[in-house]
Amino acid sequence: MAALVPDVIYLAVTSNSLPESLHSLGLRVTAVLTETLNQLASFNEEVDFQTTPQIKDYLGARRVAPERKMRDREKEALANKLGFHLLSLPGWWRPACVQSPTERLNSLLQRQLRQLWRLYWELETALSHAPVPSSPKTSLKCP
């Protein structure tokens, strides 16, 4: 996924000089973006970061990124112990009926991100082809 520029969404939603179709597409992108961010924020809402001292080590309080310090199994075991959600999917495809609840959430997030990217790309493309609104001519008058 390339960069998502918030200014593009802001322009589509707030500009009165753009066509209505771009405005409604901007609103759809905003809704999907909000839903995706809420979904990401909800993944770890049950983790008590105040009373769990091990979370400091997991988050790299020792200034060492956990990915470099821990093996995958250790990281997964600690995350499961703390109730911390890992954003990983199995390397091979699994049907939804045999996925763990975490894997199902991650698959849902992956679909959500694809939808967000498609809509955002559509909005960015439409904005690049939209007619440039003309600004009123102003003349400077000298006193």
Whether the pLDDT of residue 45 is over 70: the answer is yes
- Domain containing residue 108: 1-43+101-129
Give the H/E segment covering residue 43.
none
Which pair of structure tokens corresponds to residue 68?
């470099």
Counting the structural domains of the chain, the total is: 2
For residues 140 and 38, the model is more confident at 38
What's the pLDDT tens digit per position in 35-44?
Answer: 999 988 888 7
By percentage, how much of the chain surpasses pLDDT 70?
Answer: 68
Asked if residue 65 is part of any domain, the answer here is: yes
pTM of the model: 0.68
pLDDT at 142: 58
21 and 58 within one domain: no
CA distance 88 to 109: 11
140: helix, strand or coil: coil
Long-range contacts of 131-139 (CB under 8 A, 24+ apart): 133/15, 133/17, 133/18
119 lies in the same domain as 51: no
Tell me if 3 is assigned to some domain: yes
Contact 19, 109 (CB under 8 A): no
